[in-house]
Structure 1
């Protein structure tokens, strides 16, 4: 028996055919249908792919939001033998063009509002033969060979049979978000996605069940939406999709109205929702947890959700290369009877390896660091569902060692094996020969009542080579001073850890997947410090 994505779709459709998939529409309304209809439409679409020149083995791109049509593509394309290539719609045009050419996609499925992106780069795309607009009709466009998605569906065969593919057949493809250099492609087989799905559903991982209502705010173009679409189908869980350009008020309304039990989003979205909840409270009593990722979740954010809504924040660690999960937070049986607030010191860490994952933290000499929660090394990890190379990319030689992915994340390990992410290797600040963690400083700053968001980067220094500089986004109506912020940090850190500069800004730049763009901050920090001094 081959491990196929087909099995995940068929389980949900066969045993839970009436469970819902709900999508927020651009006009604020909701589209509802069931797993029965999802399954039928996926088969209809698969039967029509040959008519637009798509063949088994082809890479097929999606440029789309979290919607029911995108959800259908998650199953129709790989089950028909194609490779689902989800493209990050927030990348620069030049990177999107590079990705489409490097992967040699034969077709692109695109949401109507994103057509302008493709129109701008159409002259640079070499292999795409057909564009499919995810709508009932084709809007005005300068693109050629464009068809409407619903026309394909309408002419399709609901009885179309999916073949049982060899489990190592490529099924999915994502590119890294390119904080440095060109994006790197990662290919997932049917086996990879199946094993990751089963692992994710385990009780001591994300504990996905049929009774759940899942809200993946994390984009479906980012690391398979952390695997949640596949987990939902496998277990038959109700799914709520936030649709085009989701924002905090709409996300929270969906949580309240659809009685969501589990949501997943970037930490920055969690902070945006916290700000909105302070403005207008919602009923979040159905939630059993919110998974926040992409960066370390500050303790202050966890304390807010727990104090105000009795909702724990679930943390994990992984990457595009890991499909994406490698670790997950775990509250041990000895701690279960403790008050939930006492779990926060565990929850702010990155957890222990998921079953099947093998992880080690190595120092500069290649030896494993002791589990003393002080020694720092780089995380190396491998799993049965992770990549072992990048797609047609010489950087594979530097990124993978003996099957382990070399993460670039620096971590310490507690006595019971729990990871504590210290920083990205490139984001650690080395001042006078000593390391300073930007993550620790950021988490402390965000706990200040006047601070909404914070980022700390290295600023060049003539004496110490590097010194910390803090960027701070204040809460609405607040104006924290440098003296206030420094006084807040002083009891928590050694004096030489304290930032030399505190810059209050309206916004902090983000990458295409919602992470703080520290490369952009490092490039502008000297200029920002000079401008602040002259203000």
Structure 2
């Protein structure tokens, strides 16, 4: 980036077709990769004519002996240029010049590119480092569980070095045992990632009655944080949990659930209820909710509408797109449905495309999911809409049980009773070995709808 080039991070978990589309759309010219990705690149590169060079991030001793594609060795290139490094000059003359490129996960169509500028990256890093955001200091040791292709590891790729923090990179080793070992061996103070990683860590720790000796802050985003994670880490381990919400389009951090000074006196249940929300906007983000006519709704914690944001690191248009992504006043429609309470804490109730409309009223799939995962025999839960001749749509609950557990439909429905509105009660519960996820670790509602979208609940079968 300092040489005036644009760093485009690629997600290796994507399907090959998606990777080819993204590389071609971005017109990538150089790919830097781990040597383990040579087979993928061998299959991929014939479809990517703009790529001129492949650099493997290793030394000569670990270079593959034979490849069907031309590859260069990173360490050899570095050695060749080392005499010239003393004369290197920062080449960026304009802070609004492109610096980084990330693509959305493409859940509602083809992936879209979001170009980050030097200015937007710097402002976002400043916000991320603030005490009420991710609290990054020179004394911090950060385990970057969230990968850098997730919008620069939620900004930690810049905020960490900016503050002089130590970064610990886990690579592909994100099972509970490996994460615990990294946390303890490197004396990690701060970490961030999606809920599935922390569920694996908790399972490993609970079975072995382990303790965390140095960890102080866990930041969780990408999906709603289950109540069990908050209670276990905060009550049992004394580790603060903050939810984070954002999008590729917001660079990505927009809200963080840091408790306000006025909330310090809340009891345990009160604090947990606040932490189950996605948090409040940081200094550079404006936020509002609007109805379908665009009228702004009150911050009363009850009204829910389309969530819109704006700020200096929120996009105005997608990469290589002529159409504006934000309105004339800079408001970007996130596609999320949310409430905002009087304290400014936002809570996602659904994606606009996932909200269940039953009899003209909205049912929040996220609220049902959050309650369902509180059941001790439930590992993960997801809610989708199924057609209903009377109500148009009704909720179906898909459950992945904890290993070795066999809950029944009645067990789950009885647990939900009294915790959600009666008319929100799922029409049926189906059990699966595991719930499908997207390449970015989010629950794939699209896959679930394909699998279960025409499911007939018991009463409909009669």
Do the two structures share a fold, i.e. TM-score over 0.5?
Answer: yes
Q: Which residue of 1 aligns with 2:290?
A: 362
How many Å apart are 1:384 and its aligned residue? 1.1
Equivalent residue in structure 1 for 2:107, among 179, 183, 198: 179
8 Å Cα contact 2:309/2:331 also seen in 1: yes
The number of aligned residues is: 455
Q: Is structure 2 residue 147 aligned with structure 1 residue 226?
A: no
Counterparts of 1:48-447 in structure 2, within 5 Å, are 78-137=1-60, 138-140=63-65, 142-157=67-82, 158-165=85-92, 166-339=94-267, 342-393=270-321, 396-397=323-324, 402-447=329-374
**Quick one: distance in 2 between partners of 1:529 and 1:521?**
14
Structure 1 pair 521–382 and aligned structure 2 pair: CA distance change class (3 A): same
Q: Secondary structure at the match of 1:384?
A: coil
**Quick one: distance in 1 between partners of 2:204 and 2:305?**
38
Once the two structures are overlaid, the 10-residue window that deviates more, 468-477 or 136-145, is: 136-145
Structure 1 pair 526–387 and aligned structure 2 pair: CA distance change class (3 A): closer
**Quick one: distance in 2 between partners of 1:160 and 1:248?**
45
Structure 1 pair 134–164 and aligned structure 2 pair: CA distance change class (3 A): closer
Give deviations 1:23-65, integer Å, cap 9, x for gaps. Answer: xxxxxxxxxxxxxxxxxxxxxxxxxxxxxxxxxxxxxxxxxxx
Structure 1 pair 175–164 and aligned structure 2 pair: CA distance change class (3 A): same
Equivalent residue in structure 1 for 2:380, among 453, 456, 469: 453
Q: Secondary structure at the match of 1:79?
A: coil
Q: Secondary structure at the match of 1:87?
A: coil
Give deviations 1:98-131, integer Å, cap 9, x for gaps. Answer: 0000000111011111222221222211200000
How many Å apart are 1:461 and its aligned residue? 1.9
Q: Secondary structure at the match of 2:162?
A: helix
Q: Secondary structure at the match of 2:376?
A: coil
Q: Secondary structure at the match of 1:283?
A: coil
8 Å Cα contact 2:141/2:166 also seen in 1: yes
TM-score, L = length of structure 2: 0.94
Structure 1 spans left out of the alignment, 5+ residues: 1-77
8 Å Cα contact 1:261/1:287 also seen in 2: yes
**Quick one: distance in 2 between partners of 1:258 and 1:340?**
31
8 Å Cα contact 1:454/1:471 also seen in 2: yes
**Quick one: distance in 2 between partners of 1:279 and 1:393?**
51
Q: Secondary structure at the match of 1:253?
A: helix
Structure 1 pair 527–360 and aligned structure 2 pair: CA distance change class (3 A): closer
Structure 1 pair 527–436 and aligned structure 2 pair: CA distance change class (3 A): closer
Once the two structures are overlaid, the 10-residue window that deviates more, 137-146 or 218-227, is: 137-146
**Quick one: distance in 2 between partners of 1:317 and 1:427?**
17
Greater RCO, CA 8 A, separation 6+: 1
Q: Secondary structure at the match of 2:114?
A: strand
Counterparts of 1:430-509 in structure 2, within 5 Å, are 430-509=357-436
8 Å Cα contact 2:187/2:214 also seen in 1: yes
8 Å Cα contact 2:4/2:91 also seen in 1: no
Give deviations 1:282-302, integer Å, cap 9, x for gaps. Answer: 331311111110011122221
Q: Which residue of 2 aligns with 1:9?
A: none
8 Å Cα contact 1:184/1:393 also seen in 2: no
How many Å apart are 1:261 and its aligned residue? 0.6
Structure 1 pair 399–245 and aligned structure 2 pair: CA distance change class (3 A): farther
Give deviations 1:188-213, integer Å, cap 9, x for gaps. Answer: 01111111111111112211101111
Structure 2 spans left out of the alignment, 5+ residues: none
Structure 1 pair 134–438 and aligned structure 2 pair: CA distance change class (3 A): same
**Structure 1 outlier segments of 4+, above 6 Å:** none
**Quick one: distance in 1 between partners of 2:187 and 2:225?**
24
8 Å Cα contact 1:115/1:141 also seen in 2: no
Q: Secondary structure at the match of 1:502?
A: strand
Q: CA RMSD in A?
A: 1.9
**Quick one: distance in 2 between partners of 1:402 and 1:267?**
34
How many Å apart are 1:399 and its aligned residue? 5.7
TM-score, L = length of structure 1: 0.82
Q: Which residue of 1 aligns with 2:450?
A: 523
